[in-house]
């Protein structure tokens, strides 16, 4: 059974200032998401599931339905604020999505096979999809998951802070710890993590960063459902609270409900966090095309 690619695209891109999921960066108007799907198809994925808001549906279908027809199976799943477990009601005034863990959870009815979940606006590189497809095809333990790791220094923006999951692995390449750093900045050739209380931690840049490229089995949905209910009991009335998938993964590891392999993709990573990042991304993609790693037109 071919694995599925689950693309998390319901976020509005508040720091970017628009619908950055379909922002053109390729020579023929391709978005980063186009390159993700192109890489997934040639790595052996059989289906792509878009997690979007219903208000994005027309834009996404117009953009992807025609060019993906006959190339890969496509599904759309909506992530809405009122999609809560029984017994919970959406708080008045809530505008922020419930987070990446909730985004994955809403796909439970359309995914019955191993899958890779990742961000719509991050370029992960072909080797990342190849490594993940190999893992998802060969791993037989229903609670053995995976993560593609990148060197922190290669994932920063010159134009503002970023949030990253900082990871530690053991000698067997199993993830043992992940800490969500919500504000990492480059300042005077230093990399600093700024905590909520204003304290600062100096980082080397060689840390393993999670870029939200995860490999899961269908068993994860029951685990997410249980933890999302627990999360809502505590956090539902906090307007900016989100349930991050790295935090859930760490809980699963800590509770011995899952193991997570750290995969080394040796692929370039870049993304559009701020509008100022876009020219850099265009330059990177053009360089990859010049090297022959991508055709000028990926959807012939």
Contact by Cβ (8 Å): 244, 182 = no
C-alpha radius of gyration, the chain, whole number = 18
Burial tier of 158 (Cβ tally within 10 Å: 0-12, 13-18, 19+): exposed
Contact by Cβ (8 Å): 47, 72 = yes
Interacting residues of 140 by C-beta distance below 8 A, sequence separation 6+: none
pLDDT of residue 4: 98
pLDDT of residue 72: 97
The dihedral through the CA atoms of 225, 167, 4, 51 has a sign that is positive
Q: How far is CA 254 from CA 177, 231, 261, in A?
A: 8, 17, 14
Cβ of 277: how many Cβ atoms within 10 Å? 21
The enclosing domain of 70 has a CATH number of 3.90.550.10
Residue 298: inside a domain: no
Rounded distance between C-alpha atoms, residue 157 and residue 113, angstroms: 34
Q: What is the pLDDT along the chain (300 residues), one digit of tens a residue?
A: 899 999 998 865 444 344 556 778 999 999 999 999 999 999 999 999 999 988 888 888 988 999 999 999 999 999 999 999 999 999 999 988 899 999 999 999 999 999 999 998 899 999 999 999 999 999 999 999 999 999 898 888 778 888 888 989 999 999 998 888 889 998 888 999 998 888 888 999 889 988 889 999 999 999 999 999 999 999 999 999 999 898 899 899 999 999 999 998 788 888 877 778 889 899 999 999 999 999 999 997
Residue 296: inside a domain: no
Number of domains in the chain: 1
pLDDT of residue 275: 77
pLDDT of residue 15: 41
Residue 70's domain comprises 4-290
Helix (H, G, I), strand (E, B) or coil at 242: coil
Residue 189: inside a domain: yes
pTM over 0.85: yes
Strands (E), 35-78: 47-52, 73-78
pLDDT of residue 20: 54
Residue 237: inside a domain: yes
Residue 279: inside a domain: yes
> Residue 169's closest CA among 250, 240, 50?
250
Helix (H, G, I), strand (E, B) or coil at 81: coil
Residue 12: inside a domain: yes
């Amino acid at each position: 059974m071919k694995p599925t690619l689950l693309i998390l695209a319901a976020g509005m891109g508040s720091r970017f200032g628009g619908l950055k999921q379909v922002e053109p960066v390729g020579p023929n108007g391709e978005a980063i998401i186009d390159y993700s799907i192109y890489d997934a198809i040639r790595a052996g994925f059989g289906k792509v599931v878009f997690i979007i808001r219903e208000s994005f549906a027309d834009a996404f279908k117009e953009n992807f339905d025609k060019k993906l027809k006959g190339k890969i199976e496509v599904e759309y799943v909506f992530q809405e604020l009122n999609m809560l477990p029984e017994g919970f009601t959406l708080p008045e005034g809530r505008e922020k999505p419930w987070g990446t863990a909730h985004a994955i959870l809403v796909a439970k009815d359309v995914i019955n096979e191993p899958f890779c979940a990742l961000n719509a606006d991050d370029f992960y590189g072909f080797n990342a999809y190849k490594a993940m497809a190999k893992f998802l095809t060969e791993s037989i333990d229903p609670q053995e998951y995976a993560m593609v790791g990148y060197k922190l220094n290669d994932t920063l923006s010159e134009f503002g802070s970023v949030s990253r999951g900082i990871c530690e692995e053991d000698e067997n390449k199993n993830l043992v710890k992940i800490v969500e750093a919500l504000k990492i900045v480059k300042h005077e050739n230093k990399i600093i993590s700024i905590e909520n209380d204003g304290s600062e931690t100096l980082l080397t840049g060689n840390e393993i960063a999670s870029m939200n490229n995860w490999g899961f089995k269908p068993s994860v949905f029951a685990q997410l459902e249980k933890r999302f209910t627990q999360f809502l009991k505590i956090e539902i009335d906090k307007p900016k609270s989100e349930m991050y998938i790295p935090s859930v993964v760490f809980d699963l590891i800590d509770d011995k409900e899952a193991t997570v392999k750290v995969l080394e993709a040796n692929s370039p990573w870049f993304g559009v966090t701020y509008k100022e990042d876009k020219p850099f991304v265009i330059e990177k993609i053009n360089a990859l095309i010049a090297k022959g790693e991508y055709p000028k037109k990926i959807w012939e």
